[in-house]
Structure 1
Amino acid sequence: MEARLCGRALEIGGLLYRGAEAEVYEARWFCMPAVVKVRPPKPYRHPRIDELLRTRRTVAEARAMYAALRAGVSVPAVYLVDPLEKIIVMERLEGISLAHLVEADSGRALEAARRLGSMAARLHAAGVAHGDLTTSNVVVVGDEVFLVDFGLASLDADEDDYAVDVHLFMRSLESTHPDHVEDMLKSFLEGYRQVAGGDAVENLMRRVEEIRLMGRYREERRRSVWGQVEQP
């Protein structure tokens, strides 16, 4: 990709990750290790709508990261936000994702989950929902735990959004770390409780269970409908 900033200020390297809405590249920012998140054009959208959406989502993600930082949540340092180019240049974290740490060092992973729970509680207290709270979006660097990828974050979140955060965390554990679900969730909720209190955790988990029940109901209905269609 080409960047409007070039030369010694911003040097962009290879692709690290490609998602539905954005791409992440390794980079150097004034000779410091960095990453660049860019939202490329989508040819299936009207050009004006596409331009507006990409600009808004770039700015919204940067604002969510700043709101998280103000709430006491560790996030990568943001070096540059360029709405015209739809890029965010940020600190490159030299660590390990919680998804990998669970399998590599369960003791450290449990402590990271506890700290993540505290971070989630602070985030929610500030009215922010992450929107994609999975073990892949948590990076452990030494003794520090960072939350990354605020592309789906909401700055005007409500209790349902907070419950969805926890539901997504649980689902990521169930799908990739089924043997660690109970212990990891227990540590997460312990950290959440330390910040928000026991009543808040009870109310939160009650709503989480409602969301999960609705999901199971929809899945059962889908299977039932397709089962009827497949019958001769």
Structure 2
Amino acid sequence: MWGKEIVAKERFPKRYRHPELDVTLRKHRTRGEARALAKCMEAGIPVPALLHCDLNTMTLYMRHIRGHTAKHVISGCEEREDTEGVMGICREMGTLIGRLHKSGLVHGDLTTSNFVKPSPEHYYAHTETERERETEGEGETEGEGETEGDVAMDADTPSPTADTHPCPLHVIDLGLASVSSQAEERAVDMYVLERALIATHKDSESMMDACVCAYRQVMGDKITDEVLKRYEKVRGRGRKKGEKVPGQ
């Protein structure tokens, strides 16, 4: 389809909802995700390229990213005791979150499963093909579509590291994204990420610190401090005494 490998993300009806409400919600969320992807693309933030939005079927057609989730990459680094590899991915996540927030968006569901490292062969093949299309008008080799949530990878391909896998990290699944520049909303984004790190990975405190340090480089001290101040309040609603705020 369109000479590209694609992902078709369809929002199916929920039978427990009133039919009219269901249609309204699904259309709102489909349109919202499409706008978030378009906004990211305009800002140069690495996301799956949006190819088409069909509001009749509540389906988004996006460029397929063949690679590994950040969760997979980090787990591989942890198994090899590659601390710098882990911190490198976390810094990339922090930078990407900063760019997302700076563009006026909050993600709404930041986990290490919602960041993807493209495989070098797939990424550079596509970028080279895009250059050829721009200069010569040639198309790409047509591939097969994938179902929602799939991040295809070869089973025999080793988990990449920050050093051996230089392709830019991509953020995916913007279904809960919204337009906001409020410190509270940004703080909630960071809190959701922290809870995901704690639940999934070792040394979550150092990982979160690395994310915040990279985030600060993008957003600057003033805004980052405002977000961390709100973050402390958000975190305080459910945290245990003695837990420190990351980046401080």
Q: Tell me the TM-score normalized by structure 1.
A: 0.76
Asked if 2 retains the 8 angstrom alpha-carbon contact of 1:72 and 1:122, the reply is no
Cα distance per residue 1:26-45 (max 9 Å; x no partner): xxx23532111100111111
Instruction: Assess if the C-alpha contact under 8 Å between 2:108 and 2:177 holds in 1.
Output: yes
What is the CA-CA distance between 1:183 and the residue it aligns to? 2.6
CA gap of 1:80–1:150, structure 2 versus 1, over 3 A, is: same
Q: Which of residues 104, 107, 115 is equivalent to 2:76?
A: 104
Who is 2:39 aligned against? 67
Q: Does residue 227 of structure 2 align to residue 204 of structure 1?
A: yes
CA distance in 1, matches of 2:223, 2:90: 18
After TM superposition, give the deviation of residue 135 of structure 1 in Å. 0.7
> In the TM superposition, what is the alpha-carbon distance from 1:148 to its structure 2 partner?
0.3
Considering Cα pairs closer than 8 Å and 6+ residues apart, tell me whether 1 or 2 has the greater RCO: 2
- Aligned twin of 1:38: 10
- Map of 1:10-89 to 2, 5 A cutoff? 29-89=1-61
Give the match for residue 111 of structure 2.
134
State how far apart, in whole Å, the 2-side matches of 1:117 and 1:70 are: 20
The unaligned stretches of length 5 or more in structure 1 are: 1-28, 218-232
Task: Identify which range, 159-168 or 185-194, moves more after superposition.
Answer: 185-194
Q: Secondary structure at the match of 1:79?
A: strand
Q: In the alignment, which residue of structure 2 is the partner of 1:160?
A: 184
Report the counterpart of residue 3 of structure 1 in structure 2.
Answer: none
Aligned residues: percent identity? 35
CA distance in 1, matches of 2:206, 2:42: 29
Count residues with an aligned counterpart: 188
Alignment partner, residue 189 of structure 1: 212
Paired residue type of 1:118: T
Q: CA RMSD in A?
A: 1.7
TM-score, length-normalised on structure 2? 0.71
Q: Helix, strand or coil for the counterpart of 1:149?
A: coil
Q: Which has the higher strand share?
A: 1
CA offsets 1:136-172 (integer angstroms, 9 cap, x no match): 1011124210000001011135211100111111111
CA contact (8 A) 2:41 2:49 kept: no
**CA contact under 8 A between 1:98 and 1:109: conserved in structure 2?**
no
> Displacement, 1:202?
2.3
Q: State the alpha-carbon separation in 1 of the partners of residues 186 and 43 from structure 2.
A: 15
Query: Take 1:33 and 1:75, find their aligned partners in 2: how far apart are those partners?
Result: 15
